[in-house]
Structure formats: structure tokens, C-alpha cells
Amino acid sequence: MIFFTVFTVEMILLFFLSKKLITSLSRALFAVTRNHKVVINILSILFLPGTILHELSHLLTAGILLVPVGELSVLPEIEGESVKLGSVQVGKVDPFRLTLVGVAPVIWGLLTILGIIYFAQISHFNWWQTALGLYLIFNISNSMFSSKKDIEGTIGFVVAIIAITAALLLTFYFLNSSLLTNFGNYLSSLNLTPLVEFFKLASLYLLVPLILDLLIIILTSMLLKRHLTNT
């Protein structure tokens, strides 16, 4: 339970840090170039792998669930004080499928990050493979949460799981309280060690993108402050 809690907290921190990082990078780049088009071009190249994975996650999940899709874009757009990385138009369908399509980049992105770090562990990456792995982790982790629709989908997914779990527990309780006790005993008898180990490793692995984001945010903030001081 503790590792699942740590994992959840890290995912929330990653969401806020990813939004902060994109904003910090865009401001720093604009302070140097004074050109929105140049900023967009640099960000589009920098985050292209993560943006492609993000939008393909929407697209493929929508295709599997028979959800109509429209225009696909992998180019960042500056929206006020923030930057949106790519977009894909999704048709209006039932909330269940819409939620799954919305949360798809988070699920696929997280699995890809965990896969890269796990593969790095068992394969003993050399320096350039490690650098490439860190770049991809940084890229994907900061492309998972790119729009309000994705956030709504993720929140809806979590709320749906909580609601279903609560409904099942209440059903067991009102039908027969002993069912709830038996269900608890059944869960206790299960071997949850693999699940515990998964969240233990996942919470450890997520420290990599979190630390990378913090370092880049601090560096860009320092550079921006120095640039403003010099001008």
C-alpha cells in the first residue's frame, strides 16, 4: 500500500512538474530568440518522440474502441502562458470510451518509461545508450499530460475505478456483511508480492523523470534570471 501511495504522489508531482517544465523552457527560449515561431520549432523537435507516442496512443486506442478521430497534429502551440504539445480530434462518444482514449497516453507513456529503465538495468547500457534512454524518459514523461482533455480523461479513469470499487464493497456489505469479510480474507490469501514489487520498482523508476524535470526547471530559471539581469 505504501509503494502504491508513493507511486500516486509521484505521478501527481510529475504532472505538475511537466507543465512547469514546458512553460519554463518556452519562456527561456523566447527570452533568447524573441520569436514565437522559433520557440515552437525548437519545442517540436525536442519533444517530437514523446508527442508522437502521445498522439498515437490516442489514435490507436480510439481505433481499437471504434471511436471516430479527426485531425492529428504533432506540432506544439503556444496558448497564453503555456504550450500545448500536439493534438488529435476525438469524436463524441460514451464517457467510458472517451475516458479510456483520454488516459491512453498516460498508460502507454508510463509503461514505456518503466520498460526503458527496466531494459537499461538488465542490459547494462553504455554511455550513449544511457543518454538516449534519459532523453526518451524525459521526453515521454513530459508529453503524457498535454491537454485538458487528457487530464479530464485521467481524472475520469481514476474516479471510475474508485466508484466501481466502492459500489462493489457496498454491494457486498448490504447483501451480506460476511461477504465483505470473506472477500477481505480472500485478498489476504493472495500472493500480492509481484504487485508490491511492481509499484516498488515503479516508484523508484519515476524518480528519474522527476529529478530530470527539477534539474532542467532550476537551470532554465537561473538562465532566464541571468538573461533578464543582463538586459
Q: What is the pLDDT of residue 2?
A: 82
Q: What is the pLDDT of residue 179?
A: 65
d(CA 113, CA 106): 10
Mean pLDDT by 10 residues, the chain (231 residues): 81 84 84 81 84 85 82 63 63 76 85 83 80 86 70 64 76 68 67 75 83 89 77 64
Let me know: does 111 contact 60? Beta carbons within 8 Å: no
Q: At what angle do helices 48-64 and 127-141 cross, to 10 degrees?
A: 60
Q: Is the dihedral of CA 8, 59, 165, 197 positive or negative?
A: negative
Nearby residues of 223 by Cβ (< 8 Å), 6 or more positions away: 28
Q: Which residue has the cell 508510463?
A: 110
Best CA proximity match to 21, nearest among 205, 203, 220: 220
Q: Residue 38: count other Cβ atoms within 10 Å of its Cβ.
A: 13
Collapsed DSSP state (helix, strand, coil) of residue 138: helix
Q: What is the pLDDT of residue 125?
A: 76
d(CA 173, CA 200): 32
